[in-house]
Structure 1
């Protein structure tokens, strides 16, 4: 395990919740910045698959996602995280750090460090499998009055 700083090992505060949706679940995340709301949405997805308190930071793969608008960027970001979990070995993350967040121009881009470890049934309680990310009812809200960004994403379970 590479040496990590205390900041890298600290888990972020929880700024997300799960909302019921017919046969699926809706992730609702928020943050003081759009970047933070994206990070929280990714963590919410991993939190639905297992209890994040059981995930140690042993590795930090990086992912990249692009999009032509904010919705496609969010969709592709979550899809890359789901692919990370679905690949071999399965990687579950308890912390995400978006290191590049470009939301201007023709191609929007995210680069993200993912902190977590290989998923192990004996260690990580099995939550609900996430099958896919959807565009259905996806919302990205910039609440300028309260200096808050909110995301709503339905995931297929």
Structure 2
């Protein structure tokens, strides 16, 4: 039975990410008006590197949870959970991720996230580059207090 989605769930966010060259890998650069939005955009950027996101329809959803002891480990585990979601059968490719809980205070930081997309299908979804792993290498989380903007930089192993 197909899932039913609200108009809000079907509305895709604007693109606030880019890909930066890095020797043998790629660096995801994402930003937002909040740290939560920057994390969401980074997750979408990773899926966008795997396929053209405009080919991904919202037909199903999944929920993930990630924890960390600081903002960097939280980002790492969040992206790692998204990558795991894609790596399991059936391969879920997401065109939207919505963080529903974003706890960044205390000893254990936590993210709960709802992911929207569909099963990856060769022929329907152009094959991009396989993401092998998330890395801590050169990971940065930047808050620009003057512009009230947050940026994240993450190198993914391809």
Mark yes or no: TM-score above 0.5.
yes
Pairwise TM-score range, normalised by the shorter structure: over 0.9
Equivalenced residues, count: 157
How much does 1:127 deviate? 0.1
**Per-residue CA distance 1:17-50 (angstroms, 9 max, x = gap):** 0000000000000000000000000000000000
How much does 1:3 deviate? 1.5
Structure 1 equivalent of residue 128 of structure 2: 127
Structure 1 equivalent of residue 150 of structure 2: 149
Give the ranges of 4+ consecutive aligned residues of structure 1 lying more than 3 Å apart after TM superposition.
none
Structure 2 equivalent of residue 100 of structure 1: 101
Taking structure 2 as the reference length, the TM-score comes to 0.99
How much does 1:6 deviate? 1.0
Structure 2: tracts of 5 or more residues without a match: none
SS of the residue corresponding to residue 54 of structure 2 reads helix
**Per-residue CA distance 1:83-133 (angstroms, 9 max, x = gap):** 000011100000000000000010000000000000000100000000000
SS of the residue corresponding to residue 61 of structure 2 reads coil
Taking structure 1 as the reference length, the TM-score comes to 0.99
Structure 2 equivalent of residue 18 of structure 1: 19
User: Where do 1:39-78 residues align within 5 Å?
Assistant: 39-78=40-79
Structure 1: tracts of 5 or more residues without a match: none
Distance (Å, rounded) in 2 between the aligned partners of 1:134 and 1:13: 26
